[in-house]
């Protein structure tokens, strides 16, 4: 399938017709946006194929626009009504079969040419049969991540590895990562523009697809890509961001083993120890700090905080520091309106206790560095 796509592209490119348009477009567009967010700077196989398809269709379409605009400009310049011909009655032409056939056939041909790679890529990118491949021990050979979207946060479970995390998706580069997507409440959509197009997380079913990251592109983007919710899901739809950490295979394996071997954190200071107590009393009902996925999915109602201190952002959008963390706990309802986390007033958690809690949370790490 992939060959078929490349072949048609090549045929077109060899004809040279589209080459110049195509090259200019690609050159202009590839400068657009940030490498961690832009679909115009593809960082993996899936996104690259889609980017090529976008450019290919844009090339054909530019051709169409140019033809129409040339005729258009010619017509409105040449056939304007002037003082001299003000009373002229033009010949009442009924039509022209030849012309009409020409502008029926050419679009059909153009669209057929576009249809070939469209259908080919639809099938090749929709092929998730590798998810069922098992090794000798019956474990899946591919890396699979279960994504569960919530109002307004993301949970990432690695069923084969027995770990679960949230908000920061960690994946290895240079391999296909397969996803099972679903929603815990209402419909959201899982989108990491530089890695590939989106797929909805429906409350009804599980959707499957794969993405991959090239190591050099990941390095260029600083190992971090931005993920977004792409389906309107309520007031905080705009804030339902997540981050993707793309690590080289060995670093990823290290992260997995750190997550697997994470022990209950031991607070290092007196303040943090106090914070742990507050956390256990006020937060632990919803937030787990154990990265294993033993608890059933339905009970995981709030983000797992096992590696909270190693995350990129707080709540997906705020800078990762103690001040923002404390602000979040006090005003989560105004920062992300409609989210399910209760607001903690000074009566519930005093300022001192909040400092302690923040100190504790900032020590929640699985990777010792």
Partner 1 sequence: MSSIAQKSGFGATVWDFMTTVDHKKIAILYLAAGGFFFLLGGIEAMIIRIQLFVPDSGFVSAGLFNEMLTMHGVTMIFLAAMPILIGFMNLVMPLQIGARDVAFPFLNSLGFWLFFFGGLLLNLSWFLGGAPDAGWTSYASLSLNSQTHGIDFYALGLQISGFGTLMGGINFLVTIINMRAPGMTYMRMPMFTWTTFVASALILFAFPPLTVGLFLLTFDRMFGANFFNVAAGGNTIIWEHFFWIFGHPEVYILILPAFGLFSEIFSTFSRKRLFGYSSMVFATVLIGFLGFMVWAHHMFTVGLGNIANAIFAVASFAIGVPTGIKIFNWLFTMWGGNIKFTTPMLYAAAFIPSFVMGGVTGIMVATAPADYQFHDTYFVVAHFHYVIVGGVVLAILAATHFYWPKAFGTMLNETLGKITFVLFVVGFHLTFFIQHFLGLMGMPRRIATYLPGQGLDTGNLISSIGAILMALGVIVLLINIVMTSVKNVKVGNDPWGDGRTLEWALPSPPPFYNFKQLPFVRGIDTYWIEKMEGREGITPAEPLGDIHMPNGSILPVFISFGFFVAAFGCIYRTEQPWGLAVLIIGLVIAFGSMLLRSLKDDHGFHIPKSELMSDKDKGVRA
Q: Is 49 in the site for partner 1 (CB under 8 A)?
A: yes
Cβ nearer to partner 1, comparing 186 with 284: 186
Residue 185 binding partner 1, by CB under 8 A: yes
Nearest approach in angstroms of CB 42 to partner 1 is 9
Could you say which of 26, 140, 160, 202 contacts partner 1 (CB under 8 A)?
202
**CB 172 → partner 1: shortest distance, Å?**
22
Residue 114 binding partner 1, by CB under 8 A:
yes
Q: Measuring CA to CA, which residue among 49, 30, 2, 6 is closest to residue 197?
A: 49
Note every long-range contact of 325-334, with CB atoms under 8 Å and residues 24 or more positions apart, other chains counting: 325/358, 325/361, 325/362, 326/354, 326/355, 326/358, 329/354, 329/357, 329/358, 330/354
Is 142 in contact with 130 (CB distance < 8 Å)?
yes
58 binds partner 1 (CB under 8 A): yes
Q: Whose Cβ is closer to partner 1: residue 48's or residue 273's?
A: 48
Give, as one character, the DSSP assignment of residue 322.
Answer: H
Of the residues 165, 180, 207, 293, which one makes contact with partner 1 according to CB under 8 A? 207
- Binding to partner 1 (CB under 8 A) within 293-332 occurs at 317
- Of 224, 235, 228, which Cα lies nearest the Cα of 320? 224
CB of 288 to partner 1, least distance (A): 24
- Applying the rule CB under 8 A, the residues between 59 and 88 that interact with partner 1 are 61, 64-65, 68-69, 71-72, 75-76, 79-81, 85, 88
Q: Is 15 exposed, middle or buried (0-12, 13-18, 19+ CB in 10 A)?
A: exposed
User: Of the listed pieces 189-197, 283-291, 322-330, 348-356, which binds partner 1 according to CB under 8 A?
Assistant: 189-197
94 binds partner 1 (CB under 8 A): yes
- Single out the residue of 7, 24, 115, 343 in contact with partner 1 (rule: CB under 8 A): 115
- Least Å distance between CB 75 and partner 1? 5
Q: How far, in Å, CA of 201 to CA of 205, rounded?
A: 8
Phi, psi torsion values for 197, nearest 5 degrees: -70, 180
Tell me which stretch binds partner 1 (CB under 8 A): 96-104, 141-149, 171-179, 214-222: 96-104
Q: Are 175 and 249 in contact (CB under 8 A)?
A: yes
Comparing C-alpha atoms, which of 192, 183, 302, 180 is closest to residue 242?
192
Per rule CB under 8 A, is residue 57 in the interface with partner 1?
Answer: yes
Nearest Cα to Cα of residue 187 among 144, 213, 149: 149
The correct pick among 146, 165, 167, 183 for binding partner 1 (CB under 8 A) is 183
Q: How far is the CB of 33 from partner 1 (least distance, A)?
A: 3
Q: According to CB under 8 A, which residues from 11 to 40 bind partner 1? A: 29, 32-34, 37-40
Q: Tell me which residue of 282, 320, 322 sits closest to 302, measured CA to CA.
A: 282
The set of residues, in sequence order, having a beta carbon less than 8 Å from that of 232 and lying 6+ positions away, is none
Question: Can residue 118 be called a binding residue for partner 1 (CB under 8 A)?
Answer: yes
Q: From the list 224, 230, 301, 309, which residue makes contact with partner 1 (rule: CB under 8 A)?
A: 230
Residue 226 interacting with partner 1 (CB under 8 A): yes
Helix (H) or strand (E) holding 22, with range, is helix 19-29
């Amino acid at each position: 399938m992939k060959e078929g796509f490349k072949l048609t592209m090549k045929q077109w490119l060899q004809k040279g017709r589209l080459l110049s348009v195509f090259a200019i477009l690609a050159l202009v567009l590839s400068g657009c946006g940030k490498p961690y967010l832009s679909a115009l700077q593809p960082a993996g196989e899936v996104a690259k194929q889609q980017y090529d398809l976008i450019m290919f269709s844009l090339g054909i379409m530019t051709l169409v626009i140019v033809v129409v605009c040339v005729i258009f400009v010619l017509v409105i310049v040449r056939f304007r009504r002037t003082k001299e011909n003000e009373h002229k009655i033009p010949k009442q032409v009924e039509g022209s079969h030849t012309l009409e056939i020409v502008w029926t056939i050419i679009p059909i041909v153009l669209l057929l040419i576009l249809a070939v790679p469209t259908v080919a890529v639809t099938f090749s990118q929709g092929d998730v049969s590798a998810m069922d491949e098992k090794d000798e021990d019956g474990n899946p050979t591919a890396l699979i991540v279960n994504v569960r979207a919530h109002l307004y946060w993301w949970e990432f479970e690695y069923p084969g590895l027995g770990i679960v995390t949230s908000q920061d998706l960690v994946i290895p580069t240079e391999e296909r990562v397969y996803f099972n997507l679903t929603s815990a409440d209402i419909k959201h959509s899982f989108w990491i523009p530089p890695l590939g197009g989106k797929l909805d997380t429906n409350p009804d079913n599980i959707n499957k697809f794969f993405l991959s990251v090239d190591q050099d592109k990941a390095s260029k983007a600083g190992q971090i890509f931005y993920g977004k919710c792409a389906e309107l899901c309520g007031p905080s739809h705009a804030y339902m961001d997540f981050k993707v950490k793309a690590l080289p295979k060995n670093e990823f394996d290290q992260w997995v083993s750190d997550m697997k071997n994470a022990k209950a954190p031991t607070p290092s200071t007196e303040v943090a120890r106090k914070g742990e107590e507050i956390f256990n009393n006020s937060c632990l009902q919803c937030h787990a700090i154990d990265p294993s996925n033993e608890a059933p999915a339905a009970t995981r109602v709030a983000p797992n905080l096992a590696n909270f201190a190693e995350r990129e952002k707080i709540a997906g959008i705020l800078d990762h520091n103690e001040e923002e963390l404390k602000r979040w706990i006090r005003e989560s309802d105004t920062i992300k309106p409609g989210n399910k986390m209760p607001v903690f007033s000074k009566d519930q958690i005093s300022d001192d206790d909040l400092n302690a809690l923040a100190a504790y949370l900032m020590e929640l790490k699985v990777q010792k560095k």
